[in-house]
Amino acid sequence: MRDRLIFAGQLLFTLLVAAFLVVPALLSIMAGVTENYFRGISSGVTLQWVVQVWELYADSILLSFVIAFATLTLTLLVGVPAAYALHVRGGRLSRLIEEIITLPLAIPGLAIALALLLTYGGFGTFRRSWLFILAGHVVFTMPFMVRSVMAVFATIDIRTLDEGAASLGASPWRRFVDVIVPNARPGILAGALMVVTLSLGEFNLTWMLHTPLTKTLPVGLADAYASMRLEVASAYTLIFFIMIVPLLVAMQLLAEREPKS
């Protein structure tokens, strides 16, 4: 009886916390398909706000996904080999490099953006392009990829696997592709999930780096809430959910799937 009461209490607490987090999002989504938010759902249901948002911000939404997947590509190409090298080499120098790579975790996004502006802001073409935002996102998200992969390496004897493949005559490239990457798959997928999520939702750093022609989804959302009707801003939120939630669910399922032997 006591265990049932404890379970019921824990379940009730979990449901209350979930409701506290989910209800505001649901209300915002409902506002995006309501004729008049202040009159409620009785005013009628419409998709005109969603259409209006897509017409106004389609470029910003698509740019966000371009930057997110470009960020993921770069963090994979740089972060996975870096994690492998840091884990295999070891030593004081490797630990120092690891700390430098993960330093952005302790620095606010605004500070990273300011540093990039002070360093590269004078390069006009680069400053005005979306590549400038991409550079900031790579710096901001790289630690999550490196840490995720290194956490997997810490649970397996990657050095023995590497040496075994080398003793069989495999080249460094073959060892990395056929041995290291498959064993690092859980960490790579977990890192990819975090990188894409952070890149799509990052506001502070992006707000400092963007230009009127390089607005991303979070910046456009903030502009919509500040300068337009609440229904339009809520429709923007609805589009955000429609586009990002299936993507994140798919990536989560992929990360949880066991690799085939």
**Segment 68-112, tens digit of pLDDT:** 999 999 999 999 998 888 887 767 777 777 778 777 777 888 888
108 within a domain of the structure (yes/no):
yes
Predicted confidence (pLDDT) at residue 228 exceeds the cutoff of 90? no
Query: Structurally, how many domains does the chain consist of?
Result: 1
Name which residue leads in pLDDT, 243 or 111.
Answer: 111
- Rounded (10°) angle between helices 48-89 and 158-167: 70
Taking residues 130-135, report their average pLDDT: 94
114 within a domain of the structure (yes/no):
yes
Count Cβ atoms within 10 A of the Cβ of residue 69 and give its class: 0-12 exposed, 13-18 middle, 19 or more buried. middle
Predicted confidence (pLDDT) at residue 260 exceeds the cutoff of 70? no
Predicted confidence (pLDDT) at residue 205 exceeds the cutoff of 50? yes
- Can you give the residue range of the structural domain that contains 82? 56-256
Predicted confidence (pLDDT) at residue 193 exceeds the cutoff of 70? yes
50 within a domain of the structure (yes/no):
no
17 within a domain of the structure (yes/no):
no
Give this prediction's pTM. Answer: 0.80
pLDDT band of residue 255 (cuts 50, 70, 90) is: low
212 within a domain of the structure (yes/no):
yes
The Cα 182–Cα 179 span in angstroms is 6
- Rounded (10°) angle between helices 230-256 and 185-201: 170
Which CATH number goes with the domain that contains 70?
1.10.3720.10
Question: What pLDDT sits at residue 257?
Answer: 64
pLDDT band of residue 261 (cuts 50, 70, 90) is: very low
- In this structure, the number of other CB atoms found within 10 A of the CB of residue 130 comes to 19
Name which residue leads in pLDDT, 94 or 147.
Answer: 147
Convert the pLDDT of each residue in 58-70 to its tens digit: 888 889 999 999 9
25 within a domain of the structure (yes/no):
no
Convert the pLDDT of each residue in 164-184 to its tens digit: 888 888 888 888 888 888 888
Predicted confidence (pLDDT) at residue 259 exceeds the cutoff of 60? no
The Cα 178–Cα 193 span in angstroms is 22
209 within a domain of the structure (yes/no):
yes
